[in-house]
Homo-oligomer: A and B are copies of this chain.
Amino acid sequence: MEQKNKAERSPAARNDGRGKVTSYDVASLAGVSQSAVSRCFKPGASISAKIRGKVEKAARQLGYQPNAIARGLISGRSNIVAVIINNLTNLIYPEVLSELNQKFAQHGQHVLLFTLSRESDVDRVLDQVWQYQVDGIVAAAQFTDAQLAACEARCTPLVFYNRIYPNHSVASVCCDHEEGERLLVEGLLRSGRESFAVVSGPADSAVSTARTHGAINALKSAGIPYRQIEGDYSYECAKGIVNSLLAKDSRKINAIVCANDVMAIGCIDQLVHVHGMRVPEDISVVGFDGVSAASWENYNLTTIVQPVSRMVDAAVQMLIERIESFDLPVEKRIFSGKMRFGASASLR
């Protein structure tokens, strides 16, 4: 089997003018200096229209592309941002990632993706992040004090997505989880529900902690008893949780507050298809996120819709600003979610 590696092939490719063409090749063909070619591809650099025309023609002819990596080493900019994100199968994060990717591209930044199996699994990826000399980080994950300090020491700007650190000064974009849960619980109470279950996400999820806290605070303020059960954000876990809720408290619980939409969907399916209950007549179910499946006819969830597009706009803008000027004052932008009045709970 013939095997040639990339390095061995390069000279041949260069010979026929199709391979890794350099700025010197372009300068030679265009009859200009190499520095003119370089200026032509540098955003904002001044160059005459005539020379630009010559360079662009020669570059097209040779298939020349400026080397972003080499340029990055010189300028100290890689034009790469790291996105550290948990569990892409969680339905809301693919939407977030897709928006982040498109909006960073508009600023000439590209997304190097790091996925975690658990939110607290940051150490493993952070070593790799440093190696790529990224210009900045968007993190939907939990950082320790040491990890925050490492970003600070490296002057790498960092914007947290959907979590804030009450005790730390770190730039963050967040949906107001507690307010959203309070609105849901107050609505359920007004609609006459008085026996609650609160289904949280994994213990190391900051989003789940904030949402569960919000729901429980609202219930405590109203003096309403509740049961709290830990899930893992999945459809499957929700089905088991419904079984255990009904086994122990049959007919008693009439409202389930879930820390995300997917668990609310799992609860509804189990209540309706397995236990023959009516939602919302027998029991109300509410979620949080506003994923696309929440508006599917069969579920029509009552939930809090995160303003994903506005939140991503904010995160991108904040990170881009901080890449330009590392020492900008810390800012936390907290967005209110929007109540979706669905059919899984009658709140109006």
Contact B297 A133 (CB under 8 A): no
Contact B69 A78 (CB under 8 A): yes
List residues of chain B with CB within 8 A of the CB of A297.
239, 269-270, 273-274
Interface residue A249 (Cβ < 8 Å from any Cβ of B): no
Interface membership of chain A positions 61-74, coded 1 if the CB is closer than 8 angstroms to chain B and 0 otherwise: 00101111110110
Interface residue A46 (Cβ < 8 Å from any Cβ of B): no
Q: Given the interface contacts A19-B153, A128-B110, does A328 sit within 8 Å of B3 by beta carbon?
A: yes
Interface residue A15 (Cβ < 8 Å from any Cβ of B): no
A interface, size bucket: 35 or more
**Stretch of A47-55, A214-222, A318-326 that contacts chain B:** A318-326
The chain B residue sitting closest to A326, CB to CB, is B6
Contact B115 A112 (CB under 8 A): no
Q: Indicate which residue in B113, B266, B292, B323 contacts A113 across the interface (CB closer than 8 Å).
A: B113
The chain B residue sitting closest to A322, CB to CB, is B6
The chain B residue sitting closest to A135, CB to CB, is B6
List residues of chain B with CB within 8 A of the CB of A239.
297
List residues of chain B with CB within 8 A of the CB of A10.
76, 155
Interface residue A145 (Cβ < 8 Å from any Cβ of B): no
The chain B residue sitting closest to A156, CB to CB, is B6
List residues of chain B with CB within 8 A of the CB of A328.
1, 3
Tell me the bound Cα distance from A7 to B77 in angstroms. Answer: 10
Q: Given the interface contacts A155-B13, A297-B269, A329-B1, does A113 sit within 8 Å of B89 by beta carbon?
A: no
